[in-house]
Structure formats: structure tokens, C-alpha cells
Structure 1
Amino acid sequence: MYPHTILLSLALFYLFQPTIAASPSAWRSRSIYQVVTDRFARSDGSTTFPCSTSDRLYCGGSWRGIINHLDYISDMGFTAIWISPIQKQVEGDTYEGEAYHGYWPNNLNQINEHFGEKQDLLDLVAECHRRDIFVMLDMVFNHLASQGEDMTWSDLEPFNDERFFHPRCPIDWGNEASIQNCWMGDGYVSLADVDTENTEVIETFKSYISNLVDEFSFDGLRLDAVRNIPKPFWPEITRASNVYCQGEVWVGDANVVAPYQEYIDGMHNYPVKEAATRAFISSTSDLSELITVASDMQSLSKDLTLFGNFMENHDNPRLASITQDFSRLQTAAVWNILGADGIPIVYYGQEQKYAGAKDPANREALWLSGYKTTDNLVPTFATLNRFRNFVIAQGDPFLTTLAQYALLTSAVMSARKGNVTLVLTNAGNGGGGNVVLQGFAAGMELVEMLTCGKLVADQGGSLALVLNGNPIVLYPRSLLQESGLCGL
């Protein structure tokens, strides 16, 4: 066989091999930017098209719009995006608004044409992959939706008969069986609870998700309303999808959330998110509670490095609706990207200091910001992600090492992971006082990565710091040589 024939044979072999799915371990190194598809970017590129969050209507964001603004995401150093559910939704303006968010599916076999055509979605995934950006799809398994109280079962796909659903009942959130079997929604939008113990339902879902992931080459799944489905269902889905799956259990109790990792690769770290919000938004909070909750999650979780860390999302009030103090918002960003164990997730608009409170106010149109890159947190996230990506590429133990936390004062804490050291305070702008950080080599030179300032430990390995309310990110200067970071 001639050399060129061998090369051609090898090329054909690799061309027709099935795509290697993105494994859980591959997701550890990623930093995720969460997009509400309808609110991120319009196909026409408008930065003035009106979008009233209180109206709860489609505003025209699209998959093509995301493609056109991927530079905005990648320039901040994000290496994955999480997009809204793609399935066809209940149509029309219900009393609760339109299904722009994607959580009222009624036909899993069709895509939501409000977001574009199938080719637009294929192009989005292809362009992300060209840029080495993973794509996580938000997926609803718990229910199918119908407008009004009366269900027309034949309109639902693929489960078009009442026998595929649990009997209607309101959820008693204090009863686990009720949470798993009863219906979410209200009289305006009924969310019929799928009988996920039904063998036919399970097999249909397994085939469906396997085909969907293969067709669009998704790299991961975000699983909605995990607590509302019996746990044995989830391993069936994760195996069938053959990609990393991250689940939502909206509970602040580590004892409830952590055990779900026996069924799903990782979870949203709600316990730490809620504790971190309390910790960093006010100087009256004691940081010891955050350290306790974060340590509990470390001890209770099978592998906390596969959990998702976040400070904002589509269901919770934005931080800037609680505090406008830039030092606190920046501290929360540092905690999000570097301080908490696991995979960072940043909700679109957090970088613009959007201040929407609870749903629907926290689902603003990003195009109205003009995608500004100054006078906001865009430079902070860009610096943090670039630094994190460098540290990971260098083989620093940061990625798989659980953080070690210490309370320096009631308002100041440290976090160490690999060779990265953080000093965080909730004192706000100008506050924090003086602290001494120990544990460095004698005379070690360190760089503060947000300001590129140089610090030197004394001969006893201690570092005296004068805080001004801003977060501090320290890394050994010797490990930054030829990194391109901070002029080195």
C-alpha cells in the first residue's frame, strides 16, 4: 500500500468513527456561560429592540444570534455554553406569559421555531466546537405542558395518552412522594407529570435523548427538576445520553443534594450558592457559615469537582439586585470561578451587573447592554478565566484538589487550591482591615492576578496584607514565566 493510500485510509477511518462524547472529566476544565436563548442576542443584531421582562413574552433571541456573539463569550474565556431547552413549547400568551424560557414543552419531536431553524442549531454547535467550546443542552424530562386546566392528551408528543402520566395532584413540598408524582404548574399552564417509572416511558426517553445528542452533537446535559423524578430514572438517562449530565435540585441542604451524585455525574451546588450569597452580600454576615457548608459538601459528595458552581441563574435574584457594591460583586465572581470546588457557571448578564430580582425580572435582554466590555465585570471574568485556563494547562493540581478554607477574621477568609491562594472579604469597598496570611516559602514572590501587583512573603513564610474590600488572587511568580499573564 502506498503512503498516500495509507493516509487516505486513516482519514476515512477517523471520519466515520462515532463522535467521542464529552466525558465528565473533560468538563472539569470548562467554564460555563449560561444563556437564556430568547434573551441573549437577536439574529438582526439589534441592541435597541425592546424587551419587557414583566410581559413574559418572546423577545426574539435566537441560535443565530448566539453564533453572531460567540466572540463576546469566548473573549471572556468561557469554554462552554448552556442553552435553553430546544423543544416545541406551548404556544400563545397564557396568564403566565409565553414559553420563551423553554420549560413548557409539549412536543419533544419538534424544535422551538422561535429560536430558529434546525440548521441554525446545527450551525451553533458546529461553530462552538470549531472554537473548542462545549455545548450543554437544558433538558426537561419531568413534564409536558398544556395551556389551561383541561389536557388534550393527543396534542402531546411523544406521550400522547393519559396513561403515560401520573394522576393530577398538587405538590406537597414536604412530602417526597408528592414531589415526585404530583404536578407542577397552575390552572393557567398545566405541567402534566410524566410517569417516569413506566417502562415504555423510560425506553422512549432513552432512545430520544441518545438520538438527540447524536443528531446535534451536544457535549452535555443540564437536567431540570431532578428532585421531581424518582432517582432510579436518572442513571438510565445519563447512560443513554453518553455525555456529562448536571442536575438541578433546588435545595440548600447539603444532606439532600450531595447524595444525588450516586445517580447523576454532578449537581448544581445550591447549598454553597445560597451560603455564598448570604456571606458576600453584606458585612453583617459571618463567613464561617460559608466555610462550614462548603466543607460539608466536600465530605458528603462523591466527587465535588464535578458539581456546578454559580452565584446567579434564571430562577434566583441577581446579586446586583441585592448589593451594588462593586467589591462584593467582584468577590462573588472570584469565588464563582476560583474559590468553590467544581465547574464554574456564570449566568448571562452577571458580567454586566444586571440587577433583575426574582423571575421574570432576572431574565433581561442582554442586547440592551450593547455588550459593553468596560465599567462592569467583563474584565474581571476575562482575567479569572484566562488565569484558570492557564493554571489548568500547566498541570497545576488546582483542578482535582478540593479547596482548603480558613477563617482569618469574621469578615475575611482564605481559600487554597493547588498553587492558587485567595483572600476574600465581605467588608465591601474600602474595608477588610489588615490580615496576615501564612504558609508560603520564605521570601516567595507572588503575583496578585487581578491587579498584577507583586508581593513577597517574609522569611517566616508570612504575607501581610492591607485589604481594601477587593478580592485577592495570589499565584507564585515563578510559575507564571512566559505565561503572557501580567506581562510575564
Structure 2
Amino acid sequence: MKFSSAAIYASVILNLASAQPIILGKKDAKSSADLWRDQSIYQIVTDRFARTDGSTSASCDVSKREYCGGSFQGIIDKLDYIQGMGFTAIWISPVVEQIPDKTEYGYGYHGYWMKNIYTINDNFGTADELKKLSEELHDRGMKLMVDIVTNHYGAAGDGPSIDYSVYTPFNEQKYFHDYCLITDYENQALVEECWETSTLPDLKTEDNEVLSVFESWVKDFISNYTIDGLRVDSAKHMDTSFYQPFTEAAGVFLLGEVFEGDSAYTCPYQDYIAGVSNYPLYYPVLRFFQNSKTTSGELLEMIDNIKLKCNDVTLLGNFVENHDIIRLGSTVKDKALIKNAIAFTILGDGIPIIYYGQEQGLLGAEDPENREALWLAGYDTDSAYYKFISKLNQARNQAANKDNSYPSTVSSIIYSDDHTIATKKANLVAIFTNVGASASPSVTLSQSGFQKGDQVVDLLTCSSTTVGDSGLEVTMALGVPKVYASSSVASGIC
């Protein structure tokens, strides 16, 4: 997707202001949102995560953009692997039937090219297997988020030649915007009413009949598969009046993809979708942890901006990798920098989202290289990143168990310099740096909240230290992040 520049911000804010604020549904989407604050999400591209046959050698040439055999059953068989990292929820790619055609961009293995919203994509398995996945997750106390597409369908041809009769249920052109491409991302009307590409017929989400169908569909979808939350693709491309009634019908937490890095554009969407993907934070996080020469000013400014402009930063979806952006390891070779970026994602304000394969250090760059078959990398539970993510999730989960205000607490910056940032969030103090593995910076935290003489524990190494006269003195050996808590919080972990 393209990014909008300054002129679009006033346009979208005016558009958002003219719509009605979100009203939570009878099934209580607010309660669902409250529950999602506590979660740590593992994002899965179903076709690329695990196969039913358990193969770790089946070929998958990502350049062909075709189905490689990942399945619902494959995910079920690897839930121990996921839960072993401390994740409490998974987000899976869209599950409905896709167009079968090969397009100029390959096949719809990713799930974003709908053909029939009422049928499950049999490349991934059956409806009963999807129900089984939901049941298996719930038996473990975990949650299921499913990606959905309500903005467009998929097509093998281009706009003028599309046969709408093959679609279900929107089988006439009248349900779609007339063909036009988004030629100006500074014009919000074009963003919402034109097509992202010539092969993505754009639905009239402002149309009452389209809305009514989706309301009925989502009620059944949530009920049939016992789904706990939805990730909404292409959220910025839809009419904002769609979200209030759709949220009421769904009755669960919605996380909307607003692919835009400016908080002035993205944050207003939180008036209509409880959760929003945190692209405003992603870009400065990427720049800070990509390069040891980058200073912290831009990142610190964005942290302040989203606190000011977003309704609830604790419901933003935080990430440093996903299916639409490069994997960090494709440009960063220093493992200390990558560890800091992952720690910042998991321990910051918001709902942490780790993309499948981060735990194995996958290196794919842009789509399609970033959608590798995980089975070819193996499911090594002894890999450095697997263990590191496990410790971070354990620290976050323990913090929330000891203090139920942790997920809703907004962190404060208690120290910063050009290359180091320290935060306090409820009962955890975390320190991040971008100096890399070639340095071991030392800082003294006088505002940690710990008192002189307190014994505190680094939850990542289980090493303890005593708070001195000047505060908590920290040395970040080889540039690795630190996470401190009191001995009482650390009990059960260390």
C-alpha cells in the first residue's frame, strides 16, 4: 500500500468527525477489548506455518506465490510450540474461499482475495478443522483472532473485464465501486472509493445492503467458529460508517489495519475501531533499532504523539514484522539490535504481535520473501530468539498476574539519552538500547520507583542487584535489553 502525506490528514479527520462514534455491541465488544489488552499474539500465515503431514522438508518456493500446504491441522499440531513461547493468542490469515485463478501476483494462498465469504478455503482444511483449532486454543486458555477482508474481493483479470457473477454473495457490479485506481493518496475519497489494484474489486461498504450482509455474516462467523477477535484488513479504505454497526454485530474486539505512519491520520480511526495497527510507532522503532547511528529523538517524539492523539494506546497492535513489511533480519545483522526491537514490541504499551518465524530468525525481505515456510527452518525450541521471546512473554504475563492493572497502565519514560530509553510500566522497568553488541552502556535510573536497598531482578537473566544511593545502576552487557522487577514479581520466574 501507499502512504498518505500531510494533505490527507485534514481530509480523513474531517471525514471521521462527521461519522458517528463507535457504540459497543450487545455481546459486549468492550469487554472483549479489555480481555485483548492482556494478550500476546502470534501472527500466522496459515499456508506457510505448518503442514498436516508434519513435513519439515516439503518445498515452498515463495517466488511462485502459490499454496505450499500449511493447514489448520498443522497449527493444531504446533500449539505446544506456540504456547511454549508464552503466547496467549494467535492471529491467523483469512480463512474464506479464494479465487482459484493464477493472477499476475500468483495465487490467493494468503487469503486476501475473496470469492465466497460463506465457504472455508479447503486448501487449509475443513470447517470442522477450523472449529477444532478454536476448541484446542480455548482448552489451553488461549484466544483466536481471524483476519477478515470486508473491503474487496479478488480477481484474475483487471477492472473492466471482471465477471462479478462468480462472487458470493455480492454477485453483481452494483455492490462494487466503479473501476478506478487510487491515483492520489492525499484524497481520502479516492482511498475509500477507488481500487487498491486493478485486481481487487472494491466493495461499497457505505451501501446499506452490503453492510447488512456483512452484519449477518459476521454474527454467524463468530458464533460458528467461536472466534474471540477479528483483524480487519484495509481498514483505511472503507467508509467509516461501516464500523459501528459491524462492531455491534461482531460483538468482539476488532483490530483494524490502518497502513499509515502518521499518528494524525491513524489515531482518529480508534474512534470507530477499538484497536488499530500501530504503524505510527513501527517506523521510528524500525529506524532506531536498524542503525546504531540513529538517535532516540524521533522515537521518543512518536511515543508522546500517540499517547496524545490515540484514544487508548494499550489497544494498539504493536509489531516490528508482519506479512506486508520486511523482516528485521533482512537489513539488521546485529542480534542485539533485533533483540531490543523485539523486547520493545512485547513490553511497550499496546498488544504485542510477533510474526511467525521471528523466533527462528527468518530473513525474508519484501513480499513474497517474507512469507517463508516455517517448516523449512524447523521448529527449534532451543533457538536464541525462541528462548528470548519466551522470557519476554513470561515477564509480561507475570507482571499482569501480579498486578492486573499492568495491561491498562500507560508506561512512562524514566530515562533517555541518544541511544538508550528506559520505561516504567506498572511493576516492570525495561531498558532498551541501539548501540549493538559491540558496546555495553551503563545508565543509572533515579526514577525507577525502586528504593535504596531494594533487591531487584533482571527477568531475562535472573541476575539480581541492589538499588544504590543514586538509583538502579544498569550495565547492558553486549547491548542486550534489561527488564527489572521486584523479587516478589520475579518469584516463579527466577
State how far apart, in whole Å, the 2-side matches of 1:479 and 1:308 are: 25
State how far apart, in whole Å, the 1-side matches of 2:364 and 2:356 are: 12
Task: Give the corresponding residue for 2:170.
Answer: 159
State how far apart, in whole Å, the 2-side matches of 1:432 and 1:255 are: 37
Q: 4+ residue runs of structure 1 moved beyond 4 angstroms?
A: 18-22
Please tell me whether residue 131 in structure 1 is matched to residue 143 in structure 2.
Answer: no
Task: Give the corresponding residue for 1:241.
Answer: 250
State how far apart, in whole Å, the 2-side matches of 1:465 and 1:74 are: 31
The Cα of 1:434 is off from its aligned counterpart by 2.4
The Cα of 1:461 is off from its aligned counterpart by 3.1
The Cα of 1:438 is off from its aligned counterpart by 1.1
State how far apart, in whole Å, the 1-side matches of 2:154 and 2:402 are: 48
Distance 1:372 1:37, change over 3 A: same
The Cα of 1:398 is off from its aligned counterpart by 2.2
The 5-angstrom pairing of residues 392-471 of structure 1 reads 392-395=400-403, 397-439=405-447, 440-465=450-475, 467-471=477-481
The Cα of 1:396 is off from its aligned counterpart by 5.1
Correspondent of 1:182 among 189, 194, 205: 194
The RMSD of aligned alpha carbons is: 1.5
State how far apart, in whole Å, the 2-side matches of 1:388 and 1:444 are: 21
The Cα of 1:191 is off from its aligned counterpart by 1.0
Instruction: Confirm or deny: 8 A CA contact 1:405 1:414 kept in the other structure.
Output: yes
Please tell me whether residue 105 in structure 1 is matched to residue 114 in structure 2.
Answer: yes
Distance 1:106 1:464, change over 3 A: closer
Which residue identity is paired with 1:471? P
Instruction: Confirm or deny: 8 A CA contact 1:246 1:267 kept in the other structure.
Output: yes
The 5-angstrom pairing of residues 63-74 of structure 1 reads 63-74=72-83
Task: Give the corresponding residue for 1:6.
Answer: none
Which residue identity is paired with 2:189? A
Which residue identity is paired with 1:348? Y
Task: Give the corresponding residue for 2:93.
Answer: 84
Gaps of 5+ in 1: 1-17
Task: Give the corresponding residue for 2:369.
Answer: 361
Distance 1:283 1:432, change over 3 A: farther
- Secondary structure of the equivalent of 2:406? helix
Which residue identity is paired with 2:279? Y
State how far apart, in whole Å, the 1-side matches of 2:352 and 2:45 are: 17
Task: Give the corresponding residue for 1:388.
Answer: 396
Q: Among the aligned pairs, what percent are the same residue? A: 40
Task: Give the corresponding residue for 1:33.
Answer: 42
C-alpha distance after superposition, 1:117-155 (max 9, x if no partner): 111111111111111110001000001122112111111
Distance 1:233 1:396, change over 3 A: closer
Instruction: Confirm or deny: 8 A CA contact 1:397 1:417 kept in the other structure.
Output: no
> TM-score, normalized by length of structure 1?
0.92
Gaps of 5+ in 2: 1-25
C-alpha distance after superposition, 1:452-475 (max 9, x if no partner): 111111134342535421001111
Task: Give the corresponding residue for 1:12.
Answer: none
State how far apart, in whole Å, the 1-side matches of 2:269 and 2:27 are: 28
State how far apart, in whole Å, the 2-side matches of 1:227 and 1:374 are: 40
Instruction: Confirm or deny: 8 A CA contact 2:314 2:408 kept in the other structure.
Output: yes
State how far apart, in whole Å, the 2-side matches of 1:466 and 1:400 are: 28
Which residue identity is paired with 2:428? V
State how far apart, in whole Å, the 2-side matches of 1:306 and 1:413 are: 22
Instruction: Confirm or deny: 8 A CA contact 1:207 1:240 kept in the other structure.
Output: yes
Instruction: Confirm or deny: 8 A CA contact 2:442 2:473 kept in the other structure.
Output: no
State how far apart, in whole Å, the 1-side matches of 2:441 and 2:470 are: 22
The Cα of 1:19 is off from its aligned counterpart by 8.9
Bigger RCO of structures 1 and 2 (CA < 8 A, at least 6 apart): 2
Distance 1:402 1:55, change over 3 A: same
Task: Give the corresponding residue for 2:238.
Answer: 229
Instruction: Confirm or deny: 8 A CA contact 2:144 2:227 kept in the other structure.
Output: yes
C-alpha distance after superposition, 1:314-355 (max 9, x if no partner): 0000000011211111111111111x2111100000111101
Instruction: Confirm or deny: 8 A CA contact 2:27 2:252 kept in the other structure.
Output: no
Distance 1:466 1:380, change over 3 A: closer
> TM-score, normalized by length of structure 2?
0.91
Instruction: Confirm or deny: 8 A CA contact 2:403 2:427 kept in the other structure.
Output: no
Number of matched residues?
A: 463
